[in-house]
Amino acid sequence: MMKNDYMNLYRGDGASPEKHPQALPAYKTITGNDDPANYLASPDLRDAVNVALTLGQPLLITGEPGTGKTRLATSIAWELGLNYLEFHTKTDSEAKDLFYFYDALRRFQDAQLQESKPIEAYITCQALGTAILLANPTEQARKILPEHLHNKGPCRSVVLIDEIDKAPRDLPNDVLNEIESMTFRISETSWEPFSAVPNLQPVILLTSNSEKNLPDAFLRRCIFFHIDFPDADTLKRIVQRRFQNTDDQVPAFSAEFINGAIEHFEALRRLNLRKKPATAEFLAWICILKAMRADMSALTEKQRAKLELSYSVLAKSAEDLKEIKRHLNLVLKGS
Q: Which of 194, 206, 87, 72 is nearest to 134 (CA)?
A: 194
Q: Are residues 279 and 311 in the same domain?
A: yes
41 and 107 share a domain?
Answer: yes
Domain that holds residue 293: 232-334
Go through 74-103 and write b for each residue having 16 or more CB atoms within 10 A of its CB, e for each that does not.
bbbbbbbbbbbbbbebeeebebbbbbbebe
Residues 252 and 222 in one domain: no
* Parts of the chain with a pLDDT under 50: 6-7, 19-32, 247-250
Q: Element (H or E) spanning 51, and its range?
A: helix 43-55
Asked if residue 237 and residue 153 are part of one domain, the reply reads: no
Residues 22-54 have pLDDT tens digits of 444 443 333 445 677 778 888 999 999 999 999
* Predicted pLDDT at 85: 94
Shared domain check, 40 and 21? yes
Q: State the pLDDT at residue 158.
A: 95
Q: Counting every residue, how long is the chain?
A: 335
Which of 172, 200, 227 is where one domain is finished? 227
Mark whether 12 and 64 lie in a shared domain.
yes
Nearest in space to 132 (alpha carbons), one of 165, 102, 155: 155
Q: Annotate 187-201 with DSSP letters as a single string.
A: TTS-PPPEE--GGGP
Asked whether residue 223 falls in the same domain as residue 257, the answer is: no
The 10s digit of each residue's pLDDT in 217-275 is 889 999 999 998 888 998 888 888 777 655 444 456 778 888 888 999 999 999 999 99
Residues 143 and 271 in one domain: no
Residues 97 and 196 in one domain: yes
Q: Is residue 1 part of a domain?
A: no
Based on the domain organization, do 186 and 237 belong to the same domain? no
**H-helix or E-strand spanning residue 101:** strand 100-102
Same domain membership, residue 221 and residue 168: yes
| Domain end (from 175, 201, 227) | 227
CA distance 2 to 198: 5
Cα angle at 155 between 165 and 39, to 5 degrees?
Answer: 55
